[in-house]
Structures are given as C-alpha cells and as structure tokens.
Amino acid sequence: MSEYGDVVYRLGDANAWEIYKETVEEWKAEKGFVWTDLAFITLDPTSVDQFIAIRNDGTWAGSIDDVNEEALETFALNFFARAKKKTKPSTSQSGGQMPNGTTYPTEAKPDAATQVLYEKWSTEAAVMFAAASAAAGGAKPKAPRKLQVRSQSSTSDVSRPPLQRMPSASPKLLSMFPYLPNTVTTCNLTACTILKSEPESIHACQHDVEKLLRASGLYSYEWLRQERLRWHPDRFGRLCEEEWRETGKKLAGEMFKLMSVLIEDLKSRTGEGS
C-alpha cells in the first residue's frame, strides 16, 4: 500500500488467488472506499487463497477450508468487540410508511411470521449459492471457500440470535432462481402488479423485497450493499448452468436493480453512505 492509499499485489501464479483478487476488486469498485479503511488483513503463507480482511466499519471477507470456517467467522465477528462504540439512535430512523400503505418501524422487532419466512428463504438461497460456487470453482476437496462478506457491526447486537452455519450441499450450478415466498409478494400497487405479471421476472417488487429483508433484523445501508453483491448479473451468471445462464442473469439483474433502489431510498432518508 502506497502513501496515497493505492494497493498493488502480486501473488505468484496469476490464477492462484482468485477469491482474494475478487474481494479486492469488489472493494475497489465501491464508491467512497479507500484502503486506509482496512483495519486488519492476513494471508496464509501455507495455503493458496486462504485469507481474511476486516475493515474499520466491521465489513469483512475471507476464504478458508470448511473445517476452519467457524473459527474464521468467530474471529471476524469479534475483532472489534472490545472497541465497540455506543451509538445514539438516529431521529431520522423513527419509522415510516411504504407506498403501498405498509408501515415499518425501523428499530422494531421484525414480525415473527415474516422473520421465519426470511430465515427459510435466506438459508435456502445461501445453500444454493454455496453449492454453485463449489461447482464453479472446481473439485479440490480442501480448497479455501469464499465466505459471504458481512458487516460485523450489523451482527453485534446481543439481542439477535447468533449466526448459524449453513448446511453443506453437493456442488451444483444454478438452474433455478430463489424466488421470494408467495406470502410476501403481496404489494398490490398497479405498477408493481404489472411488473410482477411479466412471465420472465422474479414476480416481486421493491416493496415485497423490502418487507422480506427487513425481517432479517439487520436492515441497513451497509448490510443492503453487501447483500446486493451476490445478485450482480455477471457474478450470478458464473454460477449458472450454461443453458439457463441468460435467464439467470436476467432474473438476478432484476433483483440487483430492486436492491439498488432500496439502497438509494435508505441513503436519501438516513444520509448513510454519503
């Protein structure tokens, strides 16, 4: 890292550190990100593409073999535990109303029924992504596997249930989309109804997506921004079976756009990310 914050790296074989390079490029592409935001990084000198990187805002990324995944995740989530800052609740986050008339108290406990739907959908989607990543990345039994980029600050609330490890799945490329549960896609605004009636769509609007994601209890600008990464059409397309790739990219692109709208909406209302 230079005195101007530029980062250059050379790690031997050009194709040996794909997960690390992908993480670096993702962070470099973020608006406003500078490398002085990096709080900690270590690269394993004995295993190719095994590393962990943590930023000052608690966002982290890493890759490691399955056996040590839990230890790496615990370390990342507790890195700032002793330096946790007390924050005052923002007056701009007292709550609001969605265009379809649904209210959302920002800091309120998520609706139990919707939270169950979110947990089920999120787990199933995570398993699908993990299996597709394994299939797309080759069949080395102990090769480091990328962990989802998470924000430590959004998971540090002791009132929330602890993170659970996702069940493993056999490597398999994506051939279907993890659609939102039907019981969540209930927005009946005219424009949204027309959008959801399209034959090749995710059959959900931004209000449906927001309703489900708020049930996570983690809804914030940083969390949304990290969640959106996996729906980038090009990134999603690399995980799809060839004959379904174009359809998959189209559906993922729709989800990516809806999440972008939610991010901009949250940014305009709370001033985050500016």
Q: Is the pTM of this model over 0.85?
A: no
- Please provide residue 150's backbone torsions phi and psi, each rounded to the nearest 5 degrees: -130, 165
Q: What is the pLDDT of residue 231?
A: 92
User: What pLDDT was estimated at residue 163?
Assistant: 37
Q: Where are the beta strands (DSSP E) in 92-250?
A: 96-97, 103-104, 145-151
- Three-state SS string across 94-130, please? CCEECCCCCEECCCCCCCHHHHHHHHHHHHHHHHHHH
Most confident of 75-84, 94-103, 231-240: 231-240
Is the pLDDT reported for residue 40 higher than 70? yes
Q: What burial letters (b/e) apply to 229-247, b meaning 16+ CB within 10 Å?
A: bbbbbeebbbbbeeebbee
- What is the average pLDDT across 7-24? 78
The dihedrals phi and psi of 51, each to the nearest 5 degrees, come to -160, 170
